[in-house]
Amino acid sequence: MASVTFDQVSLTYPGAKAPTVNKFDLEIADGEFLVLVGPSGCGKSTTLRMLAGLEDVTEGNIYIGDRDVTTAAPKERDIAMVFQNYALYPHMSVRENMGFALKIAGMDKAEINRRVEEAARTLDLTEFLERKPKALSGGQRQRVAMGRAIVRNPQVFLMDEPLSNLDAKLRVQTRTQIAALQRKLGVTTLYVTHDQTEALTMGDRIAVLNGGFLQQVGTPRELYDNPANVFVAGFIGSPAMNILDCKLEGDVATIGQARIPVAPETLAAVSAEDEGRITIGFRPEALELVDASAGDTIPVTLEFVEELGSDSFLYGNIEGAENKPLVIRAAPNVAPDRGTTIHVRVKPEGQHNFAAKSGLRLP
């Protein structure tokens, strides 16, 4: 096992005006499960491919443990990859698929069988070892691809959106299995996904990437509770955080008929370049229903109610503001009829303030 370090790594493709990955600086601890998440095209798969040796680094260095592998060939890096596409050989059995890389490496047949059978027990694949891939479900095929990586006993696992081809129910089941398996094996893992729910539920830490730049690194709870900027705030969490571009009027932020109090330390951090504006974010669960007479409320015209059994989500628009939707999480069966105006207030501990110009978090 080994740590992984990206030291100011950049990659610029020939003819490109800007780097696809720019000054990426990150350390993954030995045995850590780190999830790299971001929207499509943000550079996350490119980052993983640089670590694998499949893309050439333009600037910076990559280390596995204490070894600089920046220019090392992929086969010299002691890594194993699991892809979105299972890439199993259809004419081979599960046993043969899992042991193929070891066979090519010239390993003793008895040792290959020992490793394959041990991995199969870990992945609940023992009864399928003699079957062909076409006789397996999508989840079972993905576990075979995992087993093919496990038998190599690599220093690092690299996983590039391995659950994208599975249906929703199977994704939930398989992501739990992968996270539990990684913790059992203790192999350093870099897991790439665009699904922030996967990131929140699987990783020891999450690294958020956007436009080739690393936005924030931290535990799932840190990113959820203390997003470093507007992008992370809007990207992490489902439903997404409500984010409003407001005008400052004294110690209150306004948009339409909504009035949101702003703390003195936040007002002191607003700069001249923000031009009297502030961006305020709050999650659906950070809103509480209040009476219209409460003062400093957000009036919302209710448009749709989503009942989920344990709770409900109320969707509406802020009164007096054009196309400013809001999502409110509430107890089940409490919502009034569609078209009704309700009043909500942000709980003080649930309010996130950001600079209007830079998007960075304010105190």
pLDDT over 90 (residue 6): yes
Stretch 320-347: mean pLDDT, rounded? Answer: 90
Among candidate residues 296, 346, 311, 353, the one with its CA nearest the CA of residue 326: 346
Among candidate residues 65, 54, 60, the one with its CA nearest the CA of residue 4: 65
Helix/strand/coil for 210: strand
Mean pLDDT of the chain: 94
| pLDDT tens digit sequence for 53-104 | 999 999 999 999 999 999 999 999 999 999 888 789 999 999 999 999 999 9
Stretch 178-193: mean pLDDT, rounded? Answer: 92
Distance CA 146, CA 18 (A): 35
What pLDDT is attached to residue 155? 95
| pLDDT tens digit sequence for 255-272 | 999 999 999 999 999 999
Distance CA 225, CA 16 (A): 36
What pLDDT is attached to residue 322? 85
Instruction: Please name the residues in contact with 309: beta carbons below 8 A apart, sequence gap of 6 or more.
Output: 332
What pLDDT is attached to residue 284? 97
Burial of 180 (0-12, 13-18, 19+ CB in 10 A): exposed
Q: Which residue intervals of the chain bear CATH 3.40.50.300?
A: 4-234
Helices (H), 23-107: 44-52, 94-104
What pLDDT is attached to residue 310? 87
| pLDDT tens digit sequence for 10-45 | 999 999 999 999 999 999 999 999 999 999 999 999
In the chain, the percentage of residues whose pLDDT exceeds 90 is: 80
pLDDT over 80 (residue 142): yes
Q: How are beta strands 312-318 and 59-64 bridged, if at all?
A: unpaired
pLDDT over 90 (residue 326): yes
| pLDDT tens digit sequence for 153-181 | 899 999 999 888 788 888 888 888 889 88
Q: Which residue intervals of the chain bear CATH 2.40.50.140?
A: 243-355
Q: pLDDT band for 277, please (50, 70, 90 cuts).
A: very high
pLDDT over 90 (residue 297): yes
Among candidate residues 13, 42, 36, the one with its CA nearest the CA of residue 213: 42
What pLDDT is attached to residue 134? 94
Helix (H) or strand (E) holding 131: none
pLDDT over 90 (residue 292): no
Q: How are beta strands 242-249 and 252-255 bridged, if at all?
A: antiparallel
| Residue that has been written with the tokens 């659906």 in this structure | 284
| pLDDT tens digit sequence for 190-222 | 999 999 899 999 999 999 999 999 999 999 999
Angle between helices 138-150 and 94-104 (to 10 degrees): 30
Distance CA 314, CA 329 (A): 6
Which three-class secondary structure string do you get for 163-198?
CCCCCHHHHHHHHHHHHHHHHHHCCEEEEEECCHHH
- CATH topology classification for 243-355: OB fold (Dihydrolipoamide Acetyltransferase, E2P) (2.40.50)
Stretch 301-315: mean pLDDT, rounded? Answer: 92
CATH homologous superfamily, domain 4-234 = P-loop containing nucleotide triphosphate hydrolases (3.40.50.300)
What pLDDT is attached to residue 63? 98
pLDDT over 80 (residue 113): yes
Q: pLDDT band for 323, please (50, 70, 90 cuts).
A: confident
What pLDDT is attached to residue 272? 95
